[in-house]
Structure 1
Amino acid sequence: MMAMTQLQSGDRAKIVDLSRVSELVRRRLLDMGVTEGVEVCLKCTMPLGGPFMIESCGQCLGIRRSEAMRIQVERV
């Protein structure tokens, strides 16, 4: 397992653990279909400490770097 921040652009990964993410962010991710076991693709990282752009279920999402550090993934 590793943090989402360790992925490179274009990497695919399966979300393993969301327990360290705040309840509000976890609820919002769940509303968009991003849960444990879902495969995501890191599209890009924004410069200067900006958000991570991931694709999941055909939609692109932006996640703060601080939240992405708390999401544990497993490279696929």
Structure 2
Amino acid sequence: MVLSDLKQGEKARIKDFSMLSDIVKRRLIDMGIYEGVEVCLKSNMPFGGPCMIETYGQCVGIRRNEASTIRVDKS
């Protein structure tokens, strides 16, 4: 399952994000989002807009095409 498949309010643990570019991966790690972290999908914006995820009390917007490459395990 990938991050963009989650429904609003569902929680999942990040399993793999090796398919992301190095720049995006570095930015996510700097914000505390890395493999093994539990995230909650707050909202999926309409018309292919970004996905808003929350972890450690902070919300982050991720492009939908990048969210579709992040593999997760539902909690």
Q: Which residue identity is paired with 2:17?
A: L
RMSD: 0.4
Aligned-pair CA distance for 1:57: 1.1
TM-score (norm 1): 0.97
Distance 1:42 1:32 in 2: 16
Residue deviations 1:8-59, cap 9 Å, x none? 0000000000101111100000000000000000000001100000001110
The list of structure 1 runs, each at least 4 consecutive aligned residues, that deviate by more than 6 angstroms after superposition, is none
Aligned length: 75
1:1-76 aligned at under 5 Å gives the runs 2-76=1-75
Gaps of 5+ in 1: none
Q: What amino acid does structure 2 have at the position aligned with 1:13? A: A
Which runs of 5 or more residues in structure 2 are unaligned? Answer: none
